[in-house]
Amino acid sequence: MERSSSTERYQPVTSKNSGDVVEVLPDLAYLTDQIVNVIFVGNPEPGNPWVLVDAGMPKSGGKIIEKAEERFGKDRPPEAIVLTHGHFDHIGGIIDILEKWHVPVYAHPLEHPYLTGSENYPDPDVTVEGGMLAKLSFLFPTDPIVITEFLEGLPEDGTVPPLPGWRWIHTPGHSAGHVSFFRDADRALIAGDAFVTVRQDQLYKVMTQEKELTGPPRYLTPDWTAAESSVHTLNGLKPAYAVTGHGEAAEGAWLTEHLDTLDRHFKELAVPDHGKYVKDEEKGNGR
């Protein structure tokens, strides 16, 4: 395995919820790690398998392991790690975790170049319309890591081998290989950054976790047409619960109303007025 700034460069930004573990369903909980969510899927009762979805901020591996052991008990490694995508804030602790728990890592094949050292992610867009975090996004690392020996591709049939009952859905835009996970039985959704419930570009809102369902983080989204299509796809599932990559979980009528509004008015509500990745035909009007 090979580290990079994406796992080693600590980011001095956090939120009021950092360190909290919130249970959404008996077998679905999330840990807020500074400004990003790490998801635990599995019933914590003894003997039940569990899976880790995403791996937090740089240098967070020890904290994630600690919280996982509090929930599931010591000497109970996950069946696997499953990634929504490979941005620094979703893989930051993964090498430390893999050094303790030698488990497979599943990701969409389009994310593999960033997980095998082949390619850097596109640079953050510091010119994009948005708040202070957008302007500071040049500090965020885009370097790949190398976890080739543990890496597996998600099956083409949409199944998630370590997550029976869940299926993966390709939701690109924020990254080419971004995926979300959906369980039809109870309409639970792990959305990743396809949409989030906090304005991730605005420092005050990130710190206070002010709840607002919006599009993917502006400074790291290179394809707004694909991002809009992905929100439309997820809205079509009519999720009853959603855990997103950033912000608090959402459910019920609030989720239904706000996700439908975002879907219908994506250009106005989510697409920035300007930015190097924003095309004229993608922009909304009347803001």
Q: Per-residue pLDDT tens for 182-203?
A: 999 999 999 999 999 999 999 8
pLDDT over 90 percentage in the chain: 94
What CATH number does the domain containing 13 carry? 3.60.15.10
Task: Assess if residue 62 is contained within a domain.
Answer: yes
* Residue 48, both tokens: 């039940």
Task: Assess if residue 214 is contained within a domain.
Answer: yes
Residue type, 215: G
Task: Assess if residue 46 is contained within a domain.
Answer: yes
Element at 231 (helix H, strand E): helix 224-236
Task: Assess if residue 265 is contained within a domain.
Answer: yes
Looking at the 3D structure of the chain, how many domains does it have?
1
Strands 81-82 and 105-107: parallel
> What is the average pLDDT value for the chain, to the nearest integer?
96
Task: Assess if residue 94 is contained within a domain.
Answer: yes
Residue 281 binned pLDDT confidence (cut-offs 50, 70, 90)? confident
Q: Is the pLDDT of residue 287 over 80?
A: no
Least confident range from 20-24, 249-253, 283-287: namely 283-287
Instruction: Read off the pTM.
Output: 0.96
Task: Assess if residue 287 is contained within a domain.
Answer: no
Q: Per-residue pLDDT tens for 117-176?
A: 999 999 999 999 999 999 989 999 999 999 999 999 999 999 999 999 999 999 999 999
Owning domain of residue 127 = 5-282
Residue 280 binned pLDDT confidence (cut-offs 50, 70, 90)? confident
Query: Under a CB-based contact definition with an 8 Å cutoff, are residues 37 and 246 in contact?
Result: yes
Task: Assess if residue 197 is contained within a domain.
Answer: yes
Residue 286 binned pLDDT confidence (cut-offs 50, 70, 90)? very low
Predicted confidence at residue 285, as pLDDT, reads 52
